[in-house]
Amino acid sequence: MTSLAAILRGAERGVFPPPDLGLTLVPAPSDRESCVVAFTGHVVIAADVDPAWVAERIPDGDLSAPTNPPFLSALEDFTGRRVNAIDAMLLAPALVDPAERAAATAELTELPNLDHPRVRRAWRYRDDVRAYGDTHGGLVVTGRGLAGRFECALEVPAEARGQGYGRRLAYAARGLCPPDGAVWAQVTPGNAASLRTFLAAGYKPVGSEALLVK
C-alpha cells in the first residue's frame, strides 16, 4: 500500500497521481492529522477509514464530493477531528547553488525560542519548527508538517506590506529547505495577496488540501 508521504515526495519530483478521475485511500500519516488532498484529476484521502465507508459517500468519478461539506463533515464525525481549513497547496524546489542559498537567506537570523503567535500555531501542526527574522520585522517559520514534508509560513508587518518583503521571505524559505528537497506552503484561496507573493517567489500550485486535526 502506498502512503501519503510517498505521494507528496513524488509531487516534489514532478510525479503526480494519474488524472484518471480516481480516488486513492491511504492511512492517516500520523496520529496528529488526517486529510483530503486533491490533485488534478485525482483525490487522495489519508484517513483510517474503511474503503466501503468511503465508497458509500463518494460516487465514482465525482472529484468534487470529497472536498465538499457533506463528505468532510461525515469524515469529521467518523475520525473525531475537525477540518482546519481548505487550502491551496503551493510547492517550490529548494535553492541548490550555495551562493544563491546564501544570498537568499543573508538577511535572516534564526530566533530560537521565539514566543510568537505564528510560531505557537506552527508547533500545533509541525515538528522541528524554526523561526527566522529579518531587519524589517518579517518572519519565516519552517517545520516538518503533513507526512513529514518541509513547510513554511510567513509574517510581514503591516507597515512593510506592499514593498516586496513577503516575496523575499518566500524566496528565502527555498534557501532554508534542504538542498535536495522542496518547500510547501498552504494558502487560503481567498488570500490573493499571499498567493501572489508565493507565485512571484517561484512556487507553483499543485492541488488543494483539507486538513483534519484534533
Q: What is the pLDDT of residues 83-128, one digit of tens each?
A: 988 999 999 999 999 999 999 999 999 999 889 888 999 999 999 9
pLDDT reading at 39 higher than 70: yes
Place of cell 487560503: 188
pTM above 0.85, yes or no: yes
Instruction: Note whether 63 and 21 are within 8 A (CB).
Output: yes
Sequence-distant (≥ 6) Cβ neighbours of residue 43 within 8 angstroms: 22, 23, 24, 36, 37, 63, 66, 67
Distance, CA of 172 to CA of 132 (rounded, Å): 10
Lookup: cell for 93: 524546489
pLDDT in tens, 127-179: 999 999 998 889 999 999 999 999 999 988 877 677 778 899 999 999 999 99
Q: Are 111 and 133 in contact (CB under 8 A)?
A: yes
The CATH class, in words, for 89-205 is alpha beta
Question: CATH 3.40.630 residue ranges in the chain?
Answer: 89-205
Task: Please state the rounded mean pLDDT for residues 185-213.
Answer: 96
Q: Return the amino acid letter for 56.
A: E
